[in-house]
Amino acid sequence: MGEVLQEGIYIYCIIEESQYQSFGTGAVGDRGDEVHTLCFNDIAAVVSNSPIKRYPVSRENLLPHERVIEEVMKEYTVLPVRFATITESEDKVKKILEREYDKFKDLLDKIKGKKELGVKAVFSAKGEPASGGKKDIYDHILEKYEDIKKLKTALVSKASQATYNQSVEIGKMVEAALEKEKESCKQDILNTLMPLAQKNKINDTYGERMIINAAFLVNEENEAAFDKAVDELDARYGDRVKFKYVGTLPPFNFVNLIIELGKY
């Protein structure tokens, strides 16, 4: 028989609520546990029962954690709590809410009426639907950077004598030009969007074509203007850049409460 694990309480997020509320049975752990509130005064932790164990950081576990928070966010301002925060009892959760009441209320006030909006921009590849099969960024570089174009033409015309060193030199020049193009586009995107946001966070990019991977914290009254600005950027760059715009996300990039359980 497997080890019998002690039961605990999994914390998803903090909200303003003074009454018991239920959010269904989509809890982490796939046992059908009910997601509900535990309240202290006018704030509450959104929780579910869970074994006290270490949940691996996997898609299987992260998705229900995020889905619960997204579901709660349909009705409430949320302070997301770090993945796999599990206490031993409901009393411990209430003690945390009591001890951190002022901090949680202050954070809820600061995040209220704001949304996280995500923007990614990637140079299109030739033949992709977004590029319409037209020139991609490397064609653009060859047209724009005369020194690279000349070297490339010379290399092609004497292919039989082309040296490895010449090929490497062209590769480095193209790489430097690509970084220059990415930085120019990135700054243009940030200069356009940052004035419409309260905060922004630049996350790591992946793949050589990605220009920017950013999150913006935007006041609800500025959301329409932000939407319009993203549309204008999309039109400005046309086939050359693909934009992925994701709206109304939980503010994971701006609030991720780390509750040090040993303190309570």
CB 234 within 8 A of CB 243: yes
The 10s digit of each residue's pLDDT in 75-116 is 999 999 999 999 999 999 999 999 999 999 999 999 999 999
The β-bridge relationship of strands 79-87 and 43-51 is unpaired
Same domain, 242 and 122: yes
Domain end point (choices 112, 138, 173): 112
Segments forming the whole domain that contains residue 29: 7-112
One-character DSSP codes across 130-172:
GGTT---HHHHHHHH-HHHHHHHHHHHHTGGG--HHHHHHHHH
Residue 153 has pLDDT above 50, yes or no: yes
The pLDDT of 57-65, averaged and rounded, is 93
Same domain, 87 and 18: yes
Contact partners, residue 34, CB within 8 Å, separation at least 6: 22, 24, 25, 27, 48, 49
Rounded Cα gap, residues 133 and 139, in angstroms: 12
Whole-number average pLDDT of the chain: 88
Give the mean model confidence (pLDDT) for residues 245-263: 90
Instruction: Extract the tokens encoding 88.
Output: 């031993």
Do residues 90 and 18 both lie within one domain? yes
In a shared domain, residues 129 and 144:
yes
With contact defined as beta carbons under 8 Å apart, do 212 and 186 qualify?
A: yes
- 131 pLDDT band, cuts 50/70/90, is very low
Does residue 175 or residue 112 have the better pLDDT? Answer: 112
Q: Do 67 and 182 belong to one domain? A: no
pLDDT of res. 148: 60
Per-residue pLDDT, averaged over 38-62, amounts to 95
**pLDDT for res 140:** 75
The percent helix, strand, coil of the chain (3-state, each to 5) is 45, 25, 30
Predicted local distance difference test score (pLDDT) of residue 151: 62
Over residues 155-162, the mean pLDDT reads 56
The angle that helices 164-193 and 223-237 make with each other, rounded to 10 degrees, is 150
CA distance 98 to 255: 19
The pLDDT of residue 121 is 97
Q: What is the count of structural domains for the chain?
A: 2
Residues 23 and 97 in one domain: yes
Q: Return the axis-axis angle of helices 90-99 and 101-111, rounded to nearest 10°.
A: 70
Residues 32 and 107 in one domain: yes
The pTM assigned to this predicted structure is: 0.83
Q: Considering the domain boundaries, does residue 193 fall inside one?
A: yes
Please tell me the predicted confidence (pLDDT) of residue 96.
96
105 plus 122 within the same structural domain: no
Whether 158 shows a pLDDT value over 70: the answer reads: no
146 domain-assigned: yes
Whether the pLDDT of residue 175 is over 70: the answer is yes
